[in-house]
Amino acid sequence: MKFSQFFIPTLREAPGDAAVVSHKLMLRAGMIRRLANGLFAYLPLGLRSFRKLERIIREEMDAAGALEVKPTVIVPAELWKESGRWDTMGEALLRVKNRLGGDFVVSPTAEEAITALVRDDLSSYKQLPLNLYQINTKYRDEVRPRYGVMRGREFVMKDAYSFHTDDASLARTYEDMGRAYRRIFRRVGLSVIPVRADSGAMGGSGSEEFMVESEIGDNTLILCKRCEYAANVEKAACKPDFVSVSVSAAREAAAGIPPIERIDTPDVKSIAELCAFLKTDAEKFIKTLVYTASNPNVDILKSIGWKNSGNKNAPATLHFVALIRGDLEVNEAKLASLLGASDISLATDGDVERITGAPVGFAGPAGLKDVLIIADESVSAMTGAVTGALVKDVHLQNVAFGRDFEPHLIADIRTVTAGDRCTLCGEELYEKKGNELGHIFKLGYKYTKTMKVSYLDIDGKAQTPLMGCYGIGLDRTLATVIEEHHDDAGIVWPITLAPFEALIIPVKYDGVVKEAADNLYAELRELGIDTLLDDRNERAGVKFNDGDLIGIPFRAVIGDKNLNNSPPLIELKYRADGKTRLVELWKAAEIIAAEVRAEIASFAGFAGGET
Amino acid sequence: MKFSQFFIPTLREAPGDAAVVSHKLMLRAGMIRRLANGLFAYLPLGLRSFRKLERIIREEMDAAGALEVKPTVIVPAELWKESGRWDTMGEALLRVKNRLGGDFVVSPTAEEAITALVRDDLSSYKQLPLNLYQINTKYRDEVRPRYGVMRGREFVMKDAYSFHTDDASLARTYEDMGRAYRRIFRRVGLSVIPVRADSGAMGGSGSEEFMVESEIGDNTLILCKRCEYAANVEKAACKPDFVSVSVSAAREAAAGIPPIERIDTPDVKSIAELCAFLKTDAEKFIKTLVYTASNPNVDILKSIGWKNSGNKNAPATLHFVALIRGDLEVNEAKLASLLGASDISLATDGDVERITGAPVGFAGPAGLKDVLIIADESVSAMTGAVTGALVKDVHLQNVAFGRDFEPHLIADIRTVTAGDRCTLCGEELYEKKGNELGHIFKLGYKYTKTMKVSYLDIDGKAQTPLMGCYGIGLDRTLATVIEEHHDDAGIVWPITLAPFEALIIPVKYDGVVKEAADNLYAELRELGIDTLLDDRNERAGVKFNDGDLIGIPFRAVIGDKNLNNSPPLIELKYRADGKTRLVELWKAAEIIAAEVRAEIASFAGFAGGET
C-alpha cells in the first residue's frame, strides 16, 4: 500500500477527552475516530489490525472445533423474556420497538439467540457436543463509556456457546477453550493472568477470567508472590491464621469459657472505639453487620434450612446478619454469591434497629431472633468474644460460639487483602488492578432449562443439555495490546497485529531514491510482506515520526548517501528496540522478508508450544 | 471437516411459510434459520458460503483501491438530522433511544457516518479521491419482509462512499466500481443486467443498478430483443412513433387546424367511452390528468418558470396537470423525478373539480388557468385533438397545441411497455421482473453540502467535494445465486461460493471403505481442497440426498465393489451435470484437486477478462 493512496490522518495531539495511552495513540495514529460517546469507527489502519486479531481468534476457535455462525444483532425480545434476562438485565440492555410495535434487543451477548437456534435443531445426543461461536457486533448501554474502545458502548465480541450431554464433555470443551484463549493472547503478545473462580479448591473450575494488569482496570486481583495463585478479590481466598472449629467442638470448648458479662459502653460504637475503651485487640471482637439481599435464590435458602424457605416465592429482599472477626472485612460479593442474590447492601439504620432492637453500633449474635445469620470461618475459632449486647450503650464479653449463638451457615465471607497468606503455598499475597479480556464459564442448565432445550439420549429419553459460554472482547484486546506495547513515540506493534509488517521510507521520494524505494516495495510485495511505502512529499522527520507513531515493526530507510555507497546500502530499523543496521540494497527485500517470517514464526511457535 | 463434527441440520421439507426456492433450499440445507419475521441466522454451512462471498467482494473492492473502514451500526441521530434523512426516511428507519434519552439510528446505510468521518479528517485536495467501504450489518424496518434473506430486515451490505475534487475523478471511481461489480457477479456465477438510469442518453450515467431476472423481483425491466438496452420501467425510454414538434412550429401548424368545436358528450367520461361515442381512435385524444406532488424541489420549479417559485419555501404539495396521448400511460416515477418530488399521486376528485371547474372526466388543457401543465412529448406532435371542455358532459374537438394551450414543460413522461420500440436500435422491447443486487450512484453534493464537508484546493480555497456511493446486498446476492443455481434435488453451487469444494461419501463408513475415505480426506486437505467427509452412520441414500441438497460441486463416492476392483476405483460425480466417472483410488485426490483448481481458475479468468 502506498501512503498517498491510503488514509492515515495522524494527529500531533490527541483530543483532550482521551485519558489513557491506548485511546490517545489510537486517535493519534488515525486508527479510530469518535462518532459519539462510546461509539468509535475504525479507520483503514485500525481496521487492518482489528482484522488480524479477528483472524487469529477465528483460527484458534476453528482449530478447537468450534463452528462459526451468525445470528442477527437485533433479536426479538421474546427470547430474552423466555430466559428472564429481559427483566434482570436492567438498563444496560438497549431495547428497541419496531414500526409494528414489536420489542427487540440490540444484543449484548447471545445466550438466548444461540440457545434458540440449537433448540430448534437439536434432536439426538449424537449431535453433541456442539460449540457455536460468532464474531459480531454487540451493544451495552454503558452509563459512562470510557477509555476509547476499551470500554465502548458498541463493540465486537467473539462469543461461543457449547452444549453437552454430561459434565465430562463440558469440562473437555471448557479446557479446550481455555487453551485456545491462552494461545490467542500469546499470539498477540499479551501476558494474561488466568483467574479461576475457585483457584483455592481442587478439581474443576466453573469460571476463568483472562485478566491483564492495568492501572485503569475494573477489577482488583489478589496474587501470590511465590506461586501462580491469582483470584478476583470478589472470590479470593487465603490461608487462615486460625483453625476452624466444628459447632460440636465449639460447644465443648465453650464449657471452659466464663459466662457472658455485660459492660456499659456509653457512646462507644465502632470497633476502634471499643479497642481503646477495653484496651484490647480488634481480633477479640465479633463484628456484626446487618445486610439486605436482593432476589436471593430460594433453593439456596432452603438448603441452608432458613425457615421462611417454605414460601414458594423467594422474598424479593431478605435481611440477614453477617459475623466476622473484628480485624477482618466482609466481602459482599462472596455473600451475594453464597445467597445467589442479585445485590447485597448494608441495611438501613431503621432496619438495623428493628432487627437488633438497638441503634446501630450495638448489634451482636447472642439473643438475635428470626434472622438468618451467616458467620465467617474466623468466628468459629474465637473463644469468648466481645460483641454488641442488642442494647444501646452496652456490650457483652465472653460470648461463646456454640453456646451463646449458633449461625445458620459458616462460610468464607472474608475480603482477602495484600499481606494475607496464599491459600496454596502460604506466601504473602499482593493486589493489582486488572482488566478482563476474556471469560470462560460453565453455565450448566441456566439457559437450557428456562428455554426448554432437550435432546434424546441413547435410550430415547428426553434430556436437557449442559451449556458453557466463552467470550473475548476484540476492541478491548486490541487497545490492551497498545497499552502493553508502546513507547513515548507511539505504538510498538507485535508483528501479528501490525497493520503493515514493513514500512519503506524514502528520505525524498524522487530520482534514484524513488526508484530504489519502488523496487524494494515491489520485491517485498512479491515476497508476501504487508508493506507500506511512504511516498508522500513530506519532510523525512514527518515520515519518521508518523512511522514511529503507527508502529510498523520493520522500517527500511532509503537515502541518497547510503545509496551512493558501493555497494548501495539502506538502513533497516527495528521499531521495538530502535536498533539500526545497514544492509545491501540488493539483499534488503530477502533480509526483511526472512526477519518478518522469523518474527511471525516466533509468535506461532510460542502459541504451538502450549497444549 | 467431518460431517459428524459439523452441524448441518437438513430438513426433508421446508416450513410452509417459505415461498421461494432459495428460501426453501437455504432452510432445507441447514444454511439459515429464522429467529423472527425478517431476521435470519446463518448456521455454519450457510456462513461458509457467506464468508466466501464476503471475501470475493473484499478482494475486488481492495483491488479497485477502496479502503475498508468500520463505523458503528448504532449511529447518533444528530448525523441523520444534519443530512435531513431523520425526517425524510420515514418508518423504515429503526430509531432507538438510549438510557440517557439520546436518539440513535440502527444504520440502514452509512452516508451520514462516513461523511462525518471524512469531514473530520479531510483538509487537502491531496487526500482525494478517497473511497471508503464497509461490509457490515444493516437494518431496514420493512413492513413486509419476505422470501427469507432475499428481503430481510437485518442484512449485510457492502457499501462504499467516494469523495472527489471534480466530475472526472468521480466518473473514474464510478466506472471502477461498475467494473468491480461486474467482476464480483461473474465470479459468483450470476448474470446481471446492468441498468443505467439514462441508458437512452449519451455520455456519462449517474446511476446504474445491477439487476437479476427474477419472478419475485421488485422491479419491472424494459429490455431490447436485439441490443443491450436495459432500463428500469421507472426510467425507460422508447423510440417515439411521432416527430416531436417545437412550440413555434406547432403554432404555425395550428393555423391549418379548424377552430375548436364543442361536442356534447353526456355521461361519456373515459377514453374508451369517447372512442366508441366519436367512432375514432384513442390516439386522437389528449388524456388530461391532475396530480398531487409531495415536496417538489423548489429549484426545479424555478427552472421551469413556475410562477409560485418566487416563494422561498417550496410548497409541501403542488397540484399539477399532466397531458399525454390517449393511447399511452403516464409514468408517475418519471413525473416525481422531473419535479424532484418525494411522491406523486392522482389528485382527489375534489381537487380535480376545483382545478378544472368540472367533475372528473372532463378535464382538458384549453382554458386551464393557474396550474402547472406538463405535457408528454407525444402531445406536441398531435394536430387537432379531442379533449375535455372543463364543463360537465362536454368535450372539444380540434384542440391545437401552441394555439389553444401551451404546457410549461414538455418531457418524456410516458410508461414504456412491451411492444414499444428500442430507443437505441428500434427493435421491439419486452418486459421482465428483476431484483436489484447492487447499485452505483453519483450523489454529487447531496451530503457534502448539507453536512458541510470541505477541503482546501491547490489554491488554498475551501471547496466542497463530490460524492458517489456504491452498494451490494450480500444476503440477497447469496440467495440469488441459489435461485439461479439449483435443480429439483437441491443447490448446485458455483465452486467459488460452495461451502465445501469436495464431498467424500463412504457408502458405509467402516473397514476398508473407511480407511480409503479417511486417506482421501487427508490427501485432499493436504492439497488445500475444502473437503467434507460424510462419516455418519447413515444409509447411503440419506448421504446422497443430503449431498445433492447442500450442493457440493465434486463428490467422491467410495464403496466396497469399486474398491475391490484391481486397481481399486472410486466414483467421481459432478453436482452440476450429474455425470459420473470411475477413477483410480490412488490418483483420486490429485484428479479432484486439479479439477477444483481448474474450475476456480475458470471463474477467476472470467473475472480477469473484463476490464
Residue bearing the bigger pLDDT, A248 or B466: B466
Q: Across the interface, do B153 and A40 touch by the CB < 8 Å criterion?
A: no
- Report the range of poorest mean pLDDT among B384-388, B547-551, B570-574: B384-388
- pLDDT, tens digit, 9 for 90 and up, residues B8-37: 999 999 988 898 999 999 999 999 999 999
At residue B608, does pLDDT exceed 60?
A: no
Residue bearing the bigger pLDDT, B141 or B609: B141
- Contacting B residues, span 472-501, partner chain A, CB-CB under 8 Å: none
Could you give the CA distance from residue A19 to residue B325 in angstroms, rounded to a whole number?
A: 71
- Contacting B residues, span 238-267, partner chain A, CB-CB under 8 Å: none
What is the distance, to the nearest Å, from the Cα of residue B300 to the centroid of all Cα atoms in its chain? 26
Same fold, A247-411 and A492-609: no
- Answer whether CATH 3.40.50.970 is correct for domain B31-237+430-482: no
Strands, E assignment, A365-496: 372-376, 385-388, 394-399, 409-411, 429-444, 455-456, 462-463, 466-473, 486-487, 490-491
Q: Across the interface, do B113 and A68 touch by the CB < 8 Å criterion?
A: no
Given a cut of 70, the residues of chain A with pLDDT beneath it are: 197-205, 308-315, 605-611
Q: Residue A310, exposed/middle/buried by CB under 10 A (0-12, 13-18, 19+)?
A: exposed
At residue B384, does pLDDT exceed 60?
A: yes
- Give helix B585-609 / helix B511-526 axis angle, nearest 10°: 40
CA distance A545 to chain B (A): 19
- pLDDT, tens digit, 9 for 90 and up, residues B336-361: 988 888 789 999 999 999 999 999 98
Q: Binning pLDDT at 50, 70 and 90, where does residue B205 land?
A: low
Q: Is B543 on the interface with A (CB under 8 A)?
A: no
Could you give the CA distance from residue B270 to residue B606 in angstroms, rounded to a whole number?
A: 55
Find the distance separating the first CA and the last CA of chain A, reported in whole Å.
Answer: 37
Predicted local confidence at residue A198, as pLDDT: 55
Could you give the CA distance from residue B113 to residue A154 in angstroms, rounded to a whole number?
A: 15
Please name the fold of domain A16-71+108-237+431-482.
BirA Bifunctional Protein; domain 2 (3.30.930)
Q: Is A30 on the interface with B (CB under 8 A)?
A: yes
CA distance A144 to chain B (A): 10
- Which among A76, A91, A106 has the least Cβ separation from residue B39? A76
Q: Across the interface, do B41 and A117 touch by the CB < 8 Å criterion?
A: yes
Q: Which CATH class is domain A492-609?
A: alpha beta
C-alpha distances (whole Å) from A311 to each of A293, A300, A316, A317 are 17, 13, 12, 13
Q: Across the interface, do B74 and A96 touch by the CB < 8 Å criterion?
A: no
Residue bearing the bigger pLDDT, A491 or B256: A491
Q: Across the interface, do B137 and A141 touch by the CB < 8 Å criterion?
A: no
Could you give the CA distance from residue B69 to residue B130 in angstroms, rounded to a whole number?
A: 12
CA distance A346 to chain B (A): 27
- Which among A39, A68, A116 has the least Cβ separation from residue B76? A39
Sheet-wide strand order for A372-376: A343-346, A286-294, A317-325, A372-376, A409-411
Q: Binning pLDDT at 50, 70 and 90, where does residue B196 land?
A: confident
- Contacting A residues, span 64-123, partner chain B, CB-CB under 8 Å: 65, 67-76, 78-79, 91-92, 94-96, 98-100, 102, 104, 106, 113, 116-117, 120-121
- Which among B9, B70, B96 has the least Cβ separation from residue A96? B96
Q: Across the interface, do B35 and A71 touch by the CB < 8 Å criterion?
A: yes
Tell which of B6, B27, B39 to mutate to test the A interface (max A CBs under 10 Å). B39
At residue B547, does pLDDT exceed 50?
A: yes
**What residue type is assigned to position A491 of the chain?**
I
Predicted local confidence at residue A313, as pLDDT: 58
Residues 6+ apart with CB under 8 A from B104: A36, B74, B75, B76, B77, B95, B96, B97, B98
Interface size, chain A vs chain B, as Cβ–Cβ contacts under 8 Å: 151
Q: Cβ(A419)–Cβ(A431) under 8 Å? A: no
Give me the phi and psi of B582, to 5 degrees please: -95, 135
Could you give the CA distance from residue A380 to residue A389 in angstroms, rounded to a whole number?
A: 19
CA distance B147 to chain A (A): 17
- Which among B47, B99, B139 has the least Cβ separation from residue A68? B47
Predicted local confidence at residue B199, as pLDDT: 38
Predicted local confidence at residue A205, as pLDDT: 54
Q: Is A147 on the interface with B (CB under 8 A)?
A: no
- pLDDT, tens digit, 9 for 90 and up, residues B318-327: 999 999 999 9
Closest chain B residue to A96 measured between Cα atoms?
Answer: B96
- Contacting B residues, span 351-410, partner chain A, CB-CB under 8 Å: none
Q: Binning pLDDT at 50, 70 and 90, where does residue B198 land?
A: low
| Percent of chain B residues topping a pLDDT of 70 | 96
Chain B residues close to A30, C-beta within 8 Å: 121
Q: Across the interface, do B7 and A67 touch by the CB < 8 Å criterion?
A: yes
Hey, what's the torsion of the CAs at B323, B325, B331, B335, to 10 degrees? -30
CA distance B3 to chain A (A): 10
Chain B residues close to A121, C-beta within 8 Å: 7, 9, 30, 33, 43
The single residue listed with the C-alpha cell 406532435 is B381
3-state DSSP assignment of residue B24: helix
Predicted local confidence at residue B313, as pLDDT: 58
- Which among B5, B43, B76 has the least Cβ separation from residue A35? B76
Chain B residues close to A153, C-beta within 8 Å: 74, 98
Q: Across the interface, do A94 and B96 touch by the CB < 8 Å criterion?
A: yes
- Which among B47, B74, B120 has the least Cβ separation from residue A69? B47
Sheet-wide strand order for B103-106: B74-76, B103-106, B94-97
Could you give the CA distance from residue B491 to residue B477 in angstroms, rounded to a whole number?
A: 15
Closest chain B residue to A139 measured between Cα atoms?
Answer: B74
CA distance B58 to chain A (A): 12
- Which among B69, B113, B143 has the least Cβ separation from residue A99? B143
Q: Cβ(A319)–Cβ(A290) under 8 Å? A: yes
Report, as an integer, the average pLDDT of B94-99. 95
CA distance B310 to chain A (A): 38
Predicted local confidence at residue B342, as pLDDT: 79
Per-residue 3-state assignment (H helix, E strand, C coil) for B113-156: HHHHHHHHHCCEHHHCCEEEEEEEEEECCCCCCECHHHECCEEE
What is the CATH code of the structural domain delimited by B247-411? 3.90.960.10
Predicted local confidence at residue B271, as pLDDT: 81
Predicted local confidence at residue B611, as pLDDT: 39
Mean pLDDT of chain B: 92
What is the distance, to the nearest Å, from the Cα of residue A468 to the centroid of all Cα atoms in its chain? 16
At residue B566, does pLDDT exceed 90?
A: yes
Q: Is B275 on the interface with A (CB under 8 A)?
A: no
DSSP secondary structure code for residue A283 in this structure: G
Q: What value, to the nearest 5°, has the Cα angle with vertex A460 and ends A167 and B533?
A: 75
Q: Cβ(A507)–Cβ(A557) under 8 Å? A: yes
Q: Across the interface, do A72 and B40 touch by the CB < 8 Å criterion?
A: yes
Hey, where are the domains in chain A? 16-71+108-237+431-482, 247-411, 492-609
The HSE-up count of residue B156 (CA atoms within 13 Å, CB side) is 24
Predicted local confidence at residue A114, as pLDDT: 98
DSSP secondary structure code for residue A340 in this structure: T
Q: Across the interface, do B74 and A139 touch by the CB < 8 Å criterion?
A: yes
Could you give the CA distance from residue B287 to residue B146 in angstroms, rounded to a whole number?
A: 37
Could you give the CA distance from residue B39 to residue A397 in angstroms, rounded to a whole number?
A: 68
Whether a cis peptide bond, with omega within 30° of 0, leads into B71 is no
The single residue listed with the C-alpha cell 450442493 is B551
3-state DSSP assignment of residue B486: strand
What is the distance, to the nearest Å, from the Cα of residue A548 to the centroid of all Cα atoms in its chain? 31
Closest chain A residue to B38 measured between Cα atoms?
Answer: A72
**What residue type is assigned to position B63 of the chain?**
A
C-alpha distances (whole Å) from A182 to each of A52, A437, A472, A480 are 17, 11, 11, 15
Q: Residue A521, exposed/middle/buried by CB under 10 A (0-12, 13-18, 19+)?
A: buried
Could you give the CA distance from residue A8 to residue A534 in angstroms, rounded to a whole number?
A: 11
Q: Is A124 on the interface with B (CB under 8 A)?
A: no
Predicted local confidence at residue A299, as pLDDT: 81
Q: Which of A376, A413, A373 is nearest to A234 (CA)?
A: A413
Tell which of B32, B93, B96, B455 to mutate to test the A interface (max A CBs under 10 Å). B96
- Contacting B residues, span 45-64, partner chain A, CB-CB under 8 Å: 47, 50-51
Could you give the CA distance from residue A96 to residue B153 in angstroms, rounded to a whole number?
A: 14
Which architecture does CATH list for B490-609? 3-Layer(aba) Sandwich (3.40)
Model pTM? 0.89
The HSE-up count of residue B570 (CA atoms within 13 Å, CB side) is 26
Chain A residues close to B72, C-beta within 8 Å: 35, 39-41, 137, 154
Predicted local confidence at residue A308, as pLDDT: 61
Predicted local confidence at residue B302, as pLDDT: 84
Q: Give the pairing of strands B466-473 and B429-444.
A: antiparallel
Q: Binning pLDDT at 50, 70 and 90, where does residue B308 land?
A: low
Predicted local confidence at residue A312, as pLDDT: 55
Could you give the CA distance from residue A3 to residue A5 in angstroms, rounded to a whole number?
A: 5
